[in-house]
Amino acid sequence: MKKFLKHFRYGQKGFTLIELLVVIGILGAIAAIVVPNVGQFIGRGKTESYATELHNIETSVMALLVDDADSTLDDVAGGASITDMSLIKGSNLAGTTLVLSDYCTGLGDDPATPDPAIETTCVKLGCSYAFTTDGHVTQTTP
């Protein structure tokens, strides 16, 4: 062991060029494997977040339809793709207007507008939605 340590004391400090090239090659091989996989995770995350937002909107529509007097949406914004859920309306037996944005609990929480009554979009990912009177929802992704 002394002989091995003595070898480093007399001018033999640092790594050889071969050692450095081997380390760079290993790091390059690891990067070549990791980078494409990270890209797949990012793409899959966006797809899953779009699906989750659609599910949340569909759940909100179903809750509105349960409270609606005739289980149909009264105002579906002419079938146009929208992001403002306050445009989708229904009415209950008492004649009170029901608004879809009131059923989007937790979807529109924006720190800039802490009052939930102010938040009407329920959309965070830039998607737009089209509705039919029977409650079918179609998502258009950005």
**pLDDT per residue as tens digits for the range 40-85:** 777 777 888 888 888 988 888 898 888 888 888 887 767 778 888 8
CA 88 distance to own-chain centroid: 23
User: Using one digit for the tens of pLDDT, what is the confidence trace for 103-137?
Assistant: 876 544 454 444 544 444 567 777 888 888 888 88
Tokens linked to 125:
């990912």
Which comes out higher in pLDDT, residue 49 or 4? 49
Check residue 83 and give its pLDDT.
80
Report yes or no: 130 and 82 within 8 Å, Cβ to Cβ. yes
Please provide residue 129's backbone torsions phi and psi, each rounded to the nearest 5 degrees. -135, 145
- Full-model pTM: 0.62
